[in-house]
Structure 1
Amino acid sequence: MKGLKKTRRIQIIALAFVALAGSTALIGYAMRDGINFFRAPAQVVADPPQVDEVFRLGGLVEDGSLVRGQGETITFRVTDGAESIPVAYTGVLPDLFTEGQGMIGTGKMVDGVFEATEILAKHDETYMPKEVIDALKEQGVYEDPNKQSGS
């Protein structure tokens, strides 16, 4: 009788382990397309993404680069101070999207152009995504707008 309880306990533990491993594998498989890594333009140039790799590109919209084409296609360049990447976006841009401001786009590189499927712009006067700030600080071109100059 004692051996039967021990055998059942081992079977239940083994079954629980198999179920946990299976559910972890299924969750990982389901999330494989939902994870987008952030990259600054300098990182994209230094280490080009794989074909059809979806990622997030962030930086400042380069002054003088915004071109509204025929229809809904808009092109511009995103920079982090060190490198600049051309971006093409088809759709309606956020109201706060302007040149010289921070943005993050989700998409993939196609023939040297980042084709964005989603564009996010800053939402108030001083906000900039943390990833963009970190990338700009790394390049030495970020100035904190809240920092008081002078003494």
Structure 2
Amino acid sequence: MTDLSLRPAQNHDRDAIWSILEPILREGETYALPRDWDRERALAYWFSPAHHVFVAEESGAVLGSYYIRANQLGAGDHVANGTYATHPAARGRGVARAMGLHSFETARALGFSAMQFNLVVATNTRAVALWTRLGLREVGRLPGVFRHPAHGPVDALVMHRSL
């Protein structure tokens, strides 16, 4: 994606971000977030004060969004955590990869020394493959902790990489 740019999200991006988040939430296959959240609740969470929120856009259209934050408080606040969302129509075009790489750079610039994902749903094979290609490794497997709407309880991975 040569024309893809990443920038901090702004208030006027909320509608576009909601158009990305809503189908992902409703599917219930990748996030451990309530499937029935309305726009206000979902965006309040996405734009939480501790979140650094970004969008990926091409020709003025927002194709994805992510946020990073400290994974833990206190003695664990040197490790970043991130959540990523790509518009369904833009999947497979490198948006998530670009957001991942951008988030690593941003996290490093913010003083984080590592990136950790606490709950990568094992059935989300595209995400697992992407994060593996970008240098994260599985450091733990949580058996049956995610209630998948089609598969029932499935494993989730804890993935980590140094920055």
Provide the TM-score with structure 2 as the length reference: 0.23
Structure (1/2) with the larger strand percentage:
2
TM-score computed with the length of structure 1 as normaliser: 0.24
Larger radius of gyration: 1
